[in-house]
Amino acid sequence: MERILITGGGGFIGSHLARYLYSQGYFVRVADIKYDDYIEGKYCSERLELDLRISQNCLKATEGIDKVYNLAANMGGIGFITSVFADIMHDNVLINTHMLEAAVQNKVKRFLFSSSACVYPNYKQTTSDVPGLKEEDAYPADPNEAYGWEKLFTEEMMKSYQIDYGVDIRIARFHNIYGPEGTYKGGKEKAPAALCRKVAEVSDPGEITIWGDGKATRSFCYIDDCVQGVLALMESGYDKPINIGSDRLISIDGLADMIIDSSGKKITKKHDLSAPEGVKGRNADLTLVKKVLRWEPQVSLEEGMGNTYRWIGMMVKKDRGG
Q: What is the pTM of this model?
A: 0.97
Is 178 part of the annotated catalytic residue set? Answer: no
Pair (164, 49) in one structural domain:
yes
Domain-located, residue 289: no
Domain range spanning residue 34? 3-177+221-244
Pair (76, 169) in one structural domain:
yes
How much is the mean pLDDT over the chain?
A: 97
Pair (194, 159) in one structural domain:
no
pLDDT, residue 263, reads 95
Pair (164, 114) in one structural domain:
yes
Closest by CA to 214, choosing from 268, 265, 285, 147, is: 268
**Which one from 22, 26, 120, 147 is the annotated catalytic residue?**
147
Choose the weakest-confidence range: 3-7, 205-209, 318-322: 318-322
Domain-located, residue 119: yes
Pair (239, 262) in one structural domain:
no
Dihedral angle of Cα 198, 203, 205, 209, to the nearest 10 degrees: -30
Domain-located, residue 256: yes
Pair (189, 92) in one structural domain:
no
Q: Is the pLDDT of residue 167 over 80?
A: yes
Domain-located, residue 240: yes
Tell me how many degrees the CA angle 186-187-193 measures, rounded to the nearest 5.
85
Pair (164, 91) in one structural domain:
yes
Beta-strand relationship, 110-116 and 46-49 = unpaired
Q: What is the mean pLDDT of residues 68-72?
A: 98
pLDDT, residue 1, reads 86
Q: What is the CATH number for 18?
A: 3.40.50.720
What is the count of structural domains for the chain? 2
Pair (66, 143) in one structural domain:
yes
